[in-house]
Structure 1
């Protein structure tokens, strides 16, 4: 076997191992997204039995923003404004969001989470943080740094 042939076979083996690693990474990301969807569904039900996962995500955005409007929510989630409008209406009906006319632009409505929503989300966040701490407890600081780097790369896709 020539040196060139051996080098080519070695490169093929590395490529295969890299492909397998990438396939495993993609699989794990898919599992993570599946688990996230399930967590959103469970979390929505904990906030209110009639709350949909999409409404839960919007509620979290509104609560973190303090005050916002439907246009900014639609932009953040890349959703059609009509979908956001329906979700906001449902959140209002459940007593989780209040809206009022925007004093600076009468065409807009300002959205804010209610105290009931803030309390429910605070409880959920505490539970989620405890679960995350338990899941990551055995990782070294270097492993956590590598995980953070991977997540940042994914968020830029």
Structure 2
């Protein structure tokens, strides 16, 4: 163990407080997923909303990749994808490289509705972070990136 990895009592308390605030942040994210799903359709589950956000962000995916990335059962993925297709938010076509897989791509409507929601969320984030300097925002980003990649 290196000297840098030994935490003092103050550092331990800071980590406890950080964990508590991360729990609050995750709870807020879950609430936003629920609100976003309800905005699209009252029957859409937050899981479906998360899948749709990911597919829109990356441009396309398949059920296998979604199940791995989100650690969801394939039956959950299948139900959510079917609902998103029924709502006209996803299109499915055979994968050219593996005919057993289906490529899921967002419809223009999905991109539009998520862009509107992202705009609302971005405005709320700007308002919340208005008191921070650009350096503080970059530091926060670095911490969140490290946590996300760990």
TM-score (norm 1): 0.84
Deviating 4+ runs (over 3 angstroms): none
CA distance in 1: counterparts of 2:33 and 2:62, whole angstroms: 22
Other structure's SS at 2:8 match:
helix
* 1:102 paired to 2:95: yes
Using the TM superposition, give the Cα deviation of residue 51 of structure 1 relative to its aligned residue in structure 2, in angstroms. Answer: 1.0
CA distance in 2: counterparts of 1:130 and 1:35, whole angstroms: 16
Other structure's SS at 2:132 match:
coil
CA distance in 2: counterparts of 1:68 and 1:153, whole angstroms: 25
Cα RMSD for the two superposed structures: 1.6
Of 119, 125, 140, 2:133 maps to: 140
TM-score (norm 2): 0.87
Of 64, 71, 80, 2:57 maps to: 64
Other structure's SS at 1:137 match:
coil
Count how many residue pairs are aligned between Structure 1 and Structure 2: 144
What aligned pairs does 1:1-157 form with structure 2 within 5 A after superposition? 15-157=8-150
